[in-house]
Amino acid sequence: MPKASLTARALLLDMDGTLVNSDAAVERIWRQWAEGHGLDPDEALKVVHGRQGYASMAELLPDRPMELNHAENAEMLARETADVEGVVPIPGAAAFLASVADLPHALVTSADAALAQARMTAAGLPMPEVRITAESVGASKPDPEGFLKGAAELGFTPADCVAFEDSAAGITAARAAGTLIIGVGPRALPHSPDLHVPDLTHLEITAAPDGLITFRRRAS
């Protein structure tokens, strides 16, 4: 069972599904892609959340050369960056980011820098100063590289950090990195995060003078 509270010293924040609800745009673009490759769109959508596009393609088309996945991923990123219709903040995201503005935190997203900026702007959210995007890593979630780099950029060990995630790939990456995990939304719950909230309105954050940050799930 997820805990009701936990403590950490730094935050590693996924974007899509955690701060920003981009499901409408993701589903539009990936349904078209799946249909174009003769795949079941509903099955494809079970794979794509949390991963970089080329990694999703490799899962869905395992016999295809990786260079084709990278080339097509570049096209997909351009389409996703241009299509922000329906991109909105996760409930409570603005207040949440305001509450952690002076705390050590980093964005750790599978989006590239342009897509991250486009979606955060569309959702009306401030971009964290420290950010690990697709360009920052050599391997996509569920590989832990992004979270390890985020912790290092903030000057903390992974064990001192809590990762906020919504997807199976992201939670697997955070667990492999050795961070605590707060799961946000329905996709996260089946993957046993340390603490789970339906959205960010259900989370209370308090910071002690010694830098220890406590996260509590608000009672429904």
Token pair belonging to 180: 């605590």
Q: What is the CB-side half-sphere exposure of residue 182 using CA atoms within 13 A?
A: 29
User: Of 14, 160, 166, 194, which one is the catalytic site residue?
Assistant: 14
Measure the CA–CA gap between 183 and 132, rounded to whole angstroms: 19
Active-site entry in 16, 143, 160, 166: 16
Tokens 């799961």 -> residue: 183
Strand-strand pairing, 161-165 and 10-13: parallel
Active site annotation includes 23:
no
What one-letter code names the amino acid at 96?
Answer: F
d(CA 28, CA 41): 10
Tokens of 24: 């409408």
Residue 166 among the catalytic residues? no
What residues act catalytically? 14, 16
